[in-house]
Structure 1
């Protein structure tokens, strides 16, 4: 099961952004990235979802050396370390 984290909906009338974090089990960088995405999306009232390579072997093959990987609207935006300031700037108009 892929968890979806719902933090509300953007109240500014802007279209919802699709934020996805690709993680791997027992990955300390993934734990750190998850905390940043949870914080920023929570502050902005944006839903996000986590994709696990345990359930998506095709993604592990494709992104094995870059995990965790952050996608926004289907585009890879960051990997390894997710920076809070950069994520905020990517998600705010």
Structure 2
């Protein structure tokens, strides 16, 4: 089963939209999702602060900022 890391932070409209997109994809393709609040880690804030939301699948960044359904679904379906 694929693992998806979803880097986010509170009060982030793009993050909320990305989460809804991930949930839609999850209705069709099973995957393990780990939601990471970057505000809880200086390292994550430094790494992803200007990029969030960030979607990482099996260690590879698939999308950040604007997240779309077709790209995420295609990556999880391979």
Relative to the length of structure 1, the TM-score reads 0.77
Higher helix share: 2
| Larger radius of gyration between Structure 1 and Structure 2 | 1
2:22 is aligned with 1:75: no
Deviating runs (4+, > 2 A) in structure 1?
none
1:59 matched residue in structure 2:
44
Q: Secondary structure at the match of 2:47?
A: helix
Aligned pairs for 1:7-22 within 5 A:
16-22=1-7
What is the RMSD of the two structures over their aligned residues, measured on CA atoms?
Answer: 1.1
| Structure 1, unaligned runs of 5 or more | 1-15
Higher strand share: 2
Query: Number of paired residues?
Result: 78
